[in-house]
């Protein structure tokens, strides 16, 4: 009787002839993430198994697997030979002494003489004989004995199914560049798109010395939390100071945030193309702040020439975003009181419904804007987050 962790995937089951691509990507991601732990990883049909690990590493392995996109659920299980007497004695041993239970059987090995229903009934009877204080409840039992007969002559027996991140394996949907601020929303947007299979790179704008080194460190810490789900992240840190100073000097104060975001989108698209990213991602939620009205989103989006911009938080309210941030572990870091560049030179009354013609006129007021943008791109500091 060997202790193992059984891994199950979800949506990949729906893939037809491309299923092999998704499976191989998931396997590669799991192996890379488990490389920090001494263990053995093996593949079965529709199941993966982690074995040969120390007791002290079990919780670490579970924590890693819960964050791998593409994994639907995992279970701490014991692995035994597919033999009726061995299976029976193991089920009896692992059952509780009192309460309610049921037995669920998955018979992938069709050579086994009993059907799934027959084996569940048989094992339930044997468990009741050994534990007379137990009773059967098929609808809401206190615990379930799961018996999974695999094709290779091995059987997994377990009780709990631990839910995992789900989604699609990272890297199966291409690569995207997330505009990562130090706030609550953009890390959530990053998580949501990575869950759909995007490999993530990130770009962050800072305005040193108006913003502190701690503000930049905060973003690196957020990226490090997200890397626990997304894998390695290349974080491009853009020094936005000169552009922001010129916007403050030359432009209508009410349009400052709009113009600033237009410049950010231009820089982000340039970086996305150089890094092979097929989309931009940001944390905008419609109507949440002045820069996220329909009109504001339109004029900033117009500065992106030919790259799609995804906004996975667009229809979420703030409480929904906060709930997700808490779940993925970014919230406590996001609310640390370190300023970001969006708070620098903040106008008293930012325009809510910017006029596209006026935006173009304000942009034209900035001398050598193209040169400033080129300089900002050339001076990017790239930090590898893992």
CATH code of the domain in which 361 resides: 3.40.50.620
**Which residues form the domain of 253?**
175-385
d(CA 216, CA 211): 8
Please tell me whether residues 61 and 137 are part of one structural domain.
Answer: yes
Q: How many domains does the chain have?
A: 2
Please tell me whether residues 252 and 159 are part of one structural domain.
Answer: no
Single residue among 163, 185, 216 that ends a domain in this structure: 163
Q: Smallest Cα–Cα separation from 8: which of 160, 127, 181?
A: 160
Please tell me whether residues 291 and 381 are part of one structural domain.
Answer: yes
Instruction: List Cα–Cα distances, 228 to 29, 276, 285, in angstroms.
Output: 11, 22, 25
pLDDT over 80 (residue 121): yes
Please tell me whether residues 228 and 97 are part of one structural domain.
Answer: no
Does residue 168 belong to any structural domain of this protein? no
What does the radius of gyration of the chain's CA atoms come to, in whole angstroms? 26
Does residue 33 belong to any structural domain of this protein? yes
Evaluate the omega torsion of the peptide bond into residue 209 and state whether it is cis, within 30 degrees of 0: yes
Q: Give the mean pLDDT of the chain.
A: 93
Single residue among 163, 194, 219 that ends a domain in this structure: 163
Q: Smallest Cα–Cα separation from 283: which of 193, 373, 221, 198?
A: 193
Average pLDDT of the residues in 213-237: 94
Please tell me whether residues 196 and 332 are part of one structural domain.
Answer: yes
Torsion of the alpha carbons at 242, 243, 244 and 248, rounded to the nearest 10: 100
Please tell me whether residues 128 and 205 are part of one structural domain.
Answer: no
Single residue among 109, 128, 163 that ends a domain in this structure: 163
Please tell me whether residues 55 and 191 are part of one structural domain.
Answer: no
| Total Cβ atoms within 10 A of residue 325 | 22
Q: Smallest Cα–Cα separation from 166: which of 333, 38, 327, 58?
A: 327
CB 287 within 8 A of CB 376: no
DSSP 342: G
d(CA 311, CA 222): 19
d(CA 202, CA 196): 16
User: Which alpha helices (H) appear in 82-184, and where do they start and end?
Assistant: 84-94, 116-130
d(CA 157, CA 165): 23
pLDDT digits (tens, 9 = 90+) for 149-175: 998 899 999 999 999 999 999 999 999
| Host H or E run for residue 99 | strand 99-107
Does residue 306 belong to any structural domain of this protein? yes
pLDDT digits (tens, 9 = 90+) for 198-208: 999 999 999 88
Does residue 263 belong to any structural domain of this protein? yes
Task: Look at the alpha carbons of 111, 116, 117, 121 in this order and tell me if their dihedral is positive or negative.
Answer: positive
pLDDT digits (tens, 9 = 90+) for 33-87: 999 999 999 998 778 999 999 988 999 999 999 999 999 999 999 999 999 999 9
Please tell me whether residues 245 and 356 are part of one structural domain.
Answer: yes
In CATH, what number is assigned to the domain containing residue 104?
3.30.2130.30
Torsion of the alpha carbons at 385, 10, 325 and 347, rounded to the nearest 10: 80
Confidence tier at 193 by pLDDT (50, 70, 90): very high
pLDDT over 90 (residue 237): yes
Does residue 22 belong to any structural domain of this protein? yes
pLDDT digits (tens, 9 = 90+) for 85-113: 999 999 999 999 999 999 999 999 999 99
pLDDT over 80 (residue 342): no
Does residue 169 belong to any structural domain of this protein? no
Please tell me whether residues 129 and 214 are part of one structural domain.
Answer: no
pTM, rounded to two decimals: 0.90
């Amino acid at each position: 009787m060997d202790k193992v962790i059984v891994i199950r995937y979800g949506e990949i089951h729906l893939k037809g002839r491309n299923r092999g691509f998704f499976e191989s990507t998931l396997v590669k991601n799991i192996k890379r993430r488990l490389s920090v732990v001494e263990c053995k990883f093996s593949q079965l049909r529709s199941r993966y198994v982690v074995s040969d690990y120390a007791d002290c590493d079990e919780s670490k392995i579970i924590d890693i697997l819960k964050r791998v996109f593409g994994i639907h659920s995992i279970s701490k299980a014991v692995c035994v030979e597919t033999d009726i007497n061995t299976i029976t004695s193991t089920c009896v041993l692992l059952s509780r002494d009192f309460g309610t239970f049921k037995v669920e059987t998955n018979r992938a090995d069709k050579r086994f003489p009993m059907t799934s229903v027959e084996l569940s009934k048989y094992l339930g009877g044997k468990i009741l004989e050994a534990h007379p204080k137990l009773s059967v409840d098929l609808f809401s039992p206190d615990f379930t004995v799961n018996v999974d007969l695999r094709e290779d002559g091995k059987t997994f027996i377990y009780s709990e199914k631990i839910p995992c991140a789900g989604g699609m394996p990272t890297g199966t949907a291409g690569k995207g560049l997330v505009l990562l601020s130090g706030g609550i929303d953009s890390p959530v947007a990053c998580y949501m798109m990575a869950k759909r299979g995007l490999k993530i790179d990130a770009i962050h704008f800072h305005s040193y010395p108006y913003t502190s080194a701690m503000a930049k460190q905060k973003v690196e810490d957020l990226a490090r939390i997200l890397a626990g789900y997304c894998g390695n992240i290349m974080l491009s840190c853009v020094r936005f100071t000169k552009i922001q100073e010129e916007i403050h000097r030359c432009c209508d104060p009410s349009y400052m945030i709009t113009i600033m975001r237009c410049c950010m989108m231009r820089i982000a698209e340039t970086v996305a193309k150089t890094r092979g990213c097929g989309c931009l991602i940001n944390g905008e939620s419609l109507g949440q702040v002045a820069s996220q009205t329909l009109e504001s989103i339109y004029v900033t989006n117009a500065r992106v020439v030919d790259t799609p911009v995804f906004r996975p938080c667009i229809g979420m309210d703030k409480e929904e975003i906060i709930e997700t941030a808490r779940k993925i572990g970014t919230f406590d870091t996001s609310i640390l009181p370190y300023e970001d560049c969006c708070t620098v030179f903040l106008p008293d009354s930012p325009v809510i419904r910017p006029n596209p013609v006026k935006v173009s006129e304000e942009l034209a007021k900035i001398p050598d804007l193209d040169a400033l943008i080129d300089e900002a791109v050339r001076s990017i500091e790239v930090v590898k987050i893992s």
